[in-house]
Homo-oligomer: A and B are copies of this chain.
Amino acid sequence: MARRNQHSREELQGLAIQAVRELVVEKGLEKLSVRKVADRIGYTAGMLYHVFANLDDLILHANAATLDQLLGDMDSAADSSPARALHQMASAYLALAREQTALWQMVFMHRMQNAAPVPDWYQQKTAALFDRVERQMAGLATDHDPAQIHLAARTLWSGVHGIAVLAAQDKLVVAGDVDEQAMLESLLEHYLNSWAGE
């Protein structure tokens, strides 16, 4: 058999992406396979290679949906004062790691095979994330030059990311005796205190 034509190319992509997200939530990233994705949507594994370049490409597209969701959450915090906005953005970032651990892990822990470069469209999405932070930092300390703001934004957000890593790990590995939300507040308060000048 062949030529079923029940779905357009775009519908097929959407179905596959949805299946990836479901499977990863149900069984975890390490159990994900092209064959299982194909099974779930009622096609063969070979078909997916007509619609995606390979498994990495498929995962990247599934991650794009998660990143868009995160960017949306972070944007809805942008109206508050810079300090409040940064707190809310960090909380949104941590919430994803805690509540959607598997999806968060797929975004931030998945490494490309063959050390293949991450495509441009994807890198732009992750760069957009740092931009949101930088913009708020700029509003917080108007006397700092752009290079200082760039460095501080990346420093602060690396810290937030590190806490999210710990939160995701603890949820998966061992229930830690840590309050990640408290760590987040400690980081933001003390770092910004000193950086923005009290």
Contacts and interface: CB of A to CB of B under 8 A. Distances in A.
Interface in A126-165: 151-152, 154-155, 157-163, 165
Contact of A28 (B115, B123, B194): B115
Interface string A147-189: 0000110110111111101100000111000110011001101
A125 interface: no
Chain A: number of interface residues, binned into ranges: 35 or more
Contacts of A6: none
Nearest to A167: B158
The interface residues of chain A, by DSSP majority, are classed as helix
A162 B174 CA distance: 20
Please state the number of chain copies in the assembly.
2
A152, A161, A182 interface centre (most CB from chain B within 10 Å)? A161
Which 4 A-B residue pairs are closest in the complex by CB-CB distance?
A162-B162, A159-B159, A158-B162, A190-B194
B179 A151 contact: yes
A160 to B, nearest CB: 7
A35 to B, nearest CB: 18
A111 interface: yes
B172 A115 contact: yes
A8 interface: no
Nearest to A178: B154
A113 interface: yes
Contact of A159 (B30, B113, B115, B158): B158
A52 interface: no
A123 B174 contact: yes
A112, A155, A172, A195 interface centre (most CB from chain B within 10 Å)? A155
A160 B161 CA distance: 10
Given A162-B163, A163-B158, A151 B183 contact: yes
A187 B155 contact: yes
